[in-house]
Amino acid sequence: MKNKHVGILVVGISVLFFFIVMSFNKALNSIVELSCTHGEMCPMQATLQTQEIISYGLMGLLLLVGLFMIFFMKDEKVYIEKKHISDEEKKTKLENLDDEERSVMNIVLREEGSVYQSDLIKELKVSKVKVSRLLDKLEGKGLIERKRRGMTNVIVLR
């Protein structure tokens, strides 16, 4: 979810909480007026004022956090570095690999050195576990590197 959308959600929740707190404070104030016989000197009046200050302060803080998220937090953009790989480099990287490892490397090389792991899973039509194990082998051989990007990995040639 984008930061702006989360900020709007936080502002909406803080407005909702504001109305709930306002109605709670109003009900609490009427209860104190009915039950307290000492007037302004009643200890419940001081407690009521403290409670109102804290509750409205927290709602204001929540509202400010939401507004900050809307206007000042920028969404992170992911850039994937592409490399140009010569035919000779491709041949040397594909030597001594089994068929499954070679198919993974062919896809990575075809995509100019970087591809999402989720795209590999779709293209190879094998399970996530199988792709993960193949990538572990290739990473162990020093051919690729996995970089975390959000909910998936980017596979990059070394």
Q: Structural domain boundaries of the chain?
A: 3-71, 87-157
**pTM of this prediction exceeds 0.75:** no
Cα–Cα dist 41/44, whole Å: 9
pLDDT digit string, tens, across residues 22-74 = 999 899 888 888 888 777 778 887 788 888 999 999 999 999 999 998 888 87
Buried/exposed code over 78-90 (b: 16+ C-beta within 10 A; e: otherwise): eeeeeeeeeeeee
**Higher pLDDT, residue 83 or 98:** 98
The pLDDT value given to residue 143: 86
Q: What is the fold of 87-157?
A: Arc Repressor Mutant, subunit A (1.10.10)
> Is 155 exposed, middle or buried, given 0-12, 13-18 or 19+ CB atoms closer than 10 A?
buried
SS3 158: coil
Per-residue confidence at 80, pLDDT binned at 50, 70, 90?
low
> Strand pairing partners for 156?
114, 145
